[in-house]
Structure 1
Amino acid sequence: MARELGPCGIAVKTVLPGAIQVPAENDLPAHHRARPEGQIARQCVPRRGQPEDVAAITFLANPNTSFITAQPLTIDGGWMPH
Protein backbone atom coordinates (compact mmCIF):
# COMPACT_ATOMS: atom_id res chain seq x y z
CA MET A 1 0.00 0.00 0.00
CA ALA A 2 2.81 2.41 0.83
CA ARG A 3 4.37 1.96 -2.62
CA GLU A 4 1.05 2.47 -4.33
CA LEU A 5 -0.15 5.42 -2.27
CA GLY A 6 3.16 7.17 -1.58
CA PRO A 7 3.23 8.97 -4.95
CA CYS A 8 -0.19 10.41 -4.05
CA GLY A 9 1.19 11.88 -0.83
CA ILE A 10 -0.45 9.26 1.39
CA ALA A 11 1.64 7.65 4.13
CA VAL A 12 0.72 4.17 5.34
CA LYS A 13 1.28 3.54 9.03
CA THR A 14 0.63 0.38 11.00
CA VAL A 15 0.29 0.03 14.76
CA LEU A 16 0.80 -3.39 16.35
CA PRO A 17 -0.55 -3.24 19.90
CA GLY A 18 0.17 -5.96 22.41
CA ALA A 19 -1.92 -7.01 25.40
CA ILE A 20 -3.79 -3.75 25.93
CA GLN A 21 -6.38 -3.86 28.70
CA VAL A 22 -9.69 -2.27 27.72
CA PRO A 23 -12.91 -1.81 29.71
CA ALA A 24 -14.90 -3.88 27.19
CA GLU A 25 -13.18 -7.01 28.55
CA ASN A 26 -15.20 -6.68 31.74
CA ASP A 27 -18.43 -7.29 29.79
CA LEU A 28 -17.27 -10.64 28.40
CA PRO A 29 -18.15 -13.92 30.12
CA ALA A 30 -15.15 -15.24 32.04
CA HIS A 31 -14.65 -18.19 29.67
CA HIS A 32 -14.22 -15.78 26.72
CA ARG A 33 -11.65 -13.53 28.34
CA ALA A 34 -8.09 -13.88 27.09
CA ARG A 35 -5.54 -14.96 29.64
CA PRO A 36 -2.49 -12.83 28.82
CA GLU A 37 -0.41 -13.82 31.88
CA GLY A 38 1.95 -15.99 29.82
CA GLN A 39 2.56 -13.20 27.35
CA ILE A 40 3.02 -10.65 30.13
CA ALA A 41 5.62 -12.85 31.83
CA ARG A 42 7.72 -12.81 28.63
CA GLN A 43 7.48 -9.05 28.03
CA CYS A 44 10.28 -6.64 28.95
CA VAL A 45 7.67 -4.55 30.81
CA PRO A 46 5.70 -7.17 32.80
CA ARG A 47 2.24 -5.62 32.93
CA ARG A 48 -0.84 -5.19 30.78
CA GLY A 49 -0.75 -2.24 28.46
CA GLN A 50 -3.21 0.55 29.07
CA PRO A 51 -5.01 2.61 26.42
CA GLU A 52 -2.80 5.60 27.23
CA ASP A 53 0.23 3.46 26.35
CA VAL A 54 -0.82 3.48 22.71
CA ALA A 55 -1.33 7.25 22.71
CA ALA A 56 1.86 7.48 20.65
CA ILE A 57 -0.30 6.84 17.61
CA THR A 58 -1.47 10.46 17.79
CA PHE A 59 2.10 11.36 16.81
CA LEU A 60 1.69 9.43 13.58
CA ALA A 61 -1.42 11.43 12.68
CA ASN A 62 0.60 14.64 12.63
CA PRO A 63 1.21 15.98 9.09
CA ASN A 64 4.87 16.47 10.05
CA THR A 65 5.28 12.68 9.99
CA SER A 66 4.41 12.35 6.30
CA PHE A 67 7.84 10.83 5.54
CA ILE A 68 7.15 7.95 7.94
CA THR A 69 5.54 5.23 5.85
CA ALA A 70 5.62 1.43 5.54
CA GLN A 71 6.93 1.17 9.11
CA PRO A 72 5.10 -0.71 11.85
CA LEU A 73 4.97 0.80 15.33
CA THR A 74 4.96 -2.04 17.84
CA ILE A 75 3.54 -1.11 21.25
CA ASP A 76 3.69 -4.36 23.19
CA GLY A 77 5.83 -3.86 26.29
CA GLY A 78 8.76 -5.59 24.62
CA TRP A 79 7.03 -8.86 23.80
CA MET A 80 8.20 -9.07 20.18
CA PRO A 81 11.92 -9.52 21.06
CA HIS A 82 10.85 -12.61 22.98
Structure 2
Amino acid sequence: ELKSEKLVNKVGGKFKLTALVQKRLGELMQGGRPLIKDIEGKSMLEIVIQEILQDKITIDDGVSPEPAEKKEKN
Protein backbone atom coordinates (compact mmCIF):
# COMPACT_ATOMS: atom_id res chain seq x y z
CA GLU A 1 0.00 0.00 0.00
CA LEU A 2 1.33 3.40 -0.95
CA LYS A 3 1.81 6.01 1.76
CA SER A 4 -0.75 8.30 0.12
CA GLU A 5 -3.36 5.52 0.05
CA LYS A 6 -2.59 4.74 3.68
CA LEU A 7 -3.13 8.40 4.63
CA VAL A 8 -6.42 8.63 2.70
CA ASN A 9 -7.73 5.42 4.27
CA LYS A 10 -6.58 6.45 7.75
CA VAL A 11 -8.66 9.64 7.78
CA GLY A 12 -11.58 8.40 5.71
CA GLY A 13 -11.16 10.00 2.31
CA LYS A 14 -9.27 12.51 0.22
CA PHE A 15 -11.48 15.44 1.19
CA LYS A 16 -11.07 14.78 4.91
CA LEU A 17 -7.31 14.35 4.45
CA THR A 18 -7.09 17.65 2.60
CA ALA A 19 -9.08 19.45 5.31
CA LEU A 20 -6.95 17.94 8.08
CA VAL A 21 -3.64 18.76 6.37
CA GLN A 22 -4.76 22.31 5.57
CA LYS A 23 -5.89 22.96 9.14
CA ARG A 24 -2.73 21.52 10.70
CA LEU A 25 -0.40 23.32 8.28
CA GLY A 26 -2.11 26.58 9.26
CA GLU A 27 -1.55 25.81 12.93
CA LEU A 28 2.15 25.08 12.36
CA MET A 29 2.61 28.19 10.23
CA GLN A 30 1.15 30.30 13.04
CA GLY A 31 3.63 28.92 15.55
CA GLY A 32 2.01 25.67 16.66
CA ARG A 33 4.40 23.06 18.02
CA PRO A 34 4.98 19.84 16.10
CA LEU A 35 3.59 16.75 17.83
CA ILE A 36 6.46 14.53 16.69
CA LYS A 37 10.03 14.62 17.95
CA ASP A 38 12.10 14.04 14.81
CA ILE A 39 11.47 17.23 12.82
CA GLU A 40 14.99 18.22 11.78
CA GLY A 41 15.24 18.62 8.01
CA LYS A 42 11.51 18.00 7.48
CA SER A 43 9.13 20.38 5.77
CA MET A 44 5.92 21.36 7.52
CA LEU A 45 3.99 19.07 5.17
CA GLU A 46 6.25 16.14 6.05
CA ILE A 47 5.69 16.88 9.74
CA VAL A 48 1.90 16.87 9.27
CA ILE A 49 2.05 13.58 7.34
CA GLN A 50 4.10 11.98 10.10
CA GLU A 51 1.69 13.30 12.73
CA ILE A 52 -1.19 11.63 10.87
CA LEU A 53 0.70 8.36 10.37
CA GLN A 54 1.64 8.27 14.06
CA ASP A 55 -1.97 8.99 15.13
CA LYS A 56 -0.99 12.30 16.73
CA ILE A 57 -3.80 14.09 14.90
CA THR A 58 -7.06 12.82 13.46
CA ILE A 59 -10.07 14.25 11.70
CA ASP A 60 -12.03 13.58 14.91
CA ASP A 61 -10.08 16.33 16.67
CA GLY A 62 -12.70 18.77 15.48
CA VAL A 63 -10.97 19.51 12.21
CA SER A 64 -13.62 19.91 9.57
CA PRO A 65 -14.16 22.25 6.68
CA GLU A 66 -15.95 25.48 7.48
CA PRO A 67 -19.58 25.33 6.39
CA ALA A 68 -20.44 27.67 3.55
CA GLU A 69 -22.42 30.64 4.78
CA LYS A 70 -25.80 30.99 3.17
CA LYS A 71 -26.42 34.51 1.96
CA GLU A 72 -30.00 35.68 2.08
CA LYS A 73 -31.23 37.80 -0.80
CA ASN A 74 -33.47 40.74 0.07
Pick the TM interval, shorter chain. Answer: under 0.3
**Max Rg structure:** 1
**Which has the larger share of helix?**
2
TM-score by length of 1: 0.26
TM-score by length of 2: 0.28
The structure, 1 or 2, with the larger RCO (C-alpha pairs under 8 Å, 6+ apart) is 1
**Which has the larger share of strand?**
1
